[in-house]
Amino acid sequence: MAGFGWRVGSKVQRWGRSCLRGFSSHAIPSQLENVGFIGLGNMGSHMARNLITAGYKVTVHDINENSMKKFSDDGIPTKQSPLEVSESSDVVITMLPSSSHVLEVYNGTNGLLGAGSRLGPWLYIDSSTVDPQTSRKISAAISRCHLKENKGYAENPMILDAPVSGGVPAAEAGKLTFMVGGLEEAYLAAKPLLLSMGKRAIYCGGAGNGSAAKICNNMAMAISMLGVSEAFALGQNLGIKASTLTDIFNCSSARCWSSDTYNPVPGVMEGVPSSRNYDGGFTSKLMAKDLDLAMASASGVGFKCPLGSEALEIYRKLSKDGCELKDFSCAFRHYYAGKDEE
């Protein structure tokens, strides 16, 4: 394994599966103790709080002073720039809206790479949803850098792209799923940290593969949500109630997450956004953003996604027509003119 391991006495133990058996799941390895967290929005604020609860020493930064104040009021150290965060951190996590924000936080003035090529933190984790090309660009920049101080356990700084699935309730409950790209030994080392914010971490391969997994997942989710919404609306036009069709789908070949867990028809299922006027879920605007990333990535490799690009048009239209902050399942009512279940 390249360039990474624990130093035990005079011996460096490579950090692979066998080494992970060595420490208790409750102890925080000192290599992960000081965590910088950048991006304290809907997701990041909960993720940072869960790290604090798990015992990590967290330092935070956001361009929004109000978001930082909520942390400073609780005695959590805040910093005015990504560079300042990196000065006191072993690991830096970013949870930002999109690729341009991530590039700004890494490459901008007083950004994470703003002090030149000798870096303080040995590990960077970007959990924002971005395109794989952006993740790979940042990974290449980090791989050209060196560590400011010899850490013993890491010879070079590393980065993982680790976007999440689960949404705000899962972020709050510490039940996110991380899809992780980068060096496998960095993934194994970061796992205790990730599992303080989530219930699962899945290794996807090299740099950018976590981001690729995330946008593929969301493209499939958008298409399946539109598929069941279209079928439920057609069913209503043909005289079949959506609840009857749901029962049939859920024990037949059309069953999917959009039919059995996140049903888009108001009145069919409780506790989902469709039961509360499509408020409080994954917004149409974010879905359009993720589909945009998927289509840009597809065109970057010359691959055609006809259903993905149609889904993007639909979510763009929904966003333009005033539904940008409604949950993405609102396509049933606002695109297909589906009716509430009586």
Question: Which positions lie near ligand NAD, rule CB under 6 A?
Answer: 38-44, 61-64, 67, 95-98, 101, 104-105, 128-129, 164, 167-168, 282, 286
Residue 25, C-beta contacts closer than 8 angstroms, at least 6 positions apart? 192
Find the shortest distance in angstroms from Cβ 10 to ligand NAD.
41
Of 208, 15, 13, 219, the C-alpha closest to 99 is 208
Q: Which is nearer to ligand NAD, 95 or 268 (CB)?
A: 95
Find the shortest distance in angstroms from Cβ 150 to ligand NAD.
30
Q: Which residue has tokens 């993007």?
A: 312
Classified as helix, coil or strand, 173 is helix
Dist CA 267 CA 113 (whole Å): 51
Chain Cα centroid distance, residue 203? 14
Residue nearest to ligand NAD (CB): 41
Q: Report whether 259 contacts 250 (CB < 8 A).
A: yes
Find the shortest distance in angstroms from Cβ 70 to ligand NAD.
11
Q: Which is nearer to ligand NAD, 109 or 253 (CB)?
A: 109
Find the shortest distance in angstroms from Cβ 339 to ligand NAD.
27
Paired strand residues for 126: 94, 161
Q: What are phi and psi of 313, to 5 degrees?
A: -60, -40
Classified as helix, coil or strand, 51 is helix
Q: What burial class does residue 24 get, using C-beta atoms within 10 Å of its C-beta: 0-12 exposed, 13-18 middle, 19+ buried?
A: exposed
Determine which one of 214, 241, 317, 326 is catalytic.
214
Find the shortest distance in angstroms from Cβ 287 to ligand NAD.
9
Dist CA 45 CA 172 (whole Å): 9
Q: Which is nearer to ligand NAD, 245 or 286 (CB)?
A: 286
Q: Which is nearer to ligand NAD, 83 or 242 (CB)?
A: 83
Amino acid at position 220, single letter: A
Q: Which is nearer to ligand NAD, 236 or 274 (CB)?
A: 274
Instruction: Check if 214 is active-site.
Output: yes
| Catalytic residue list | 214
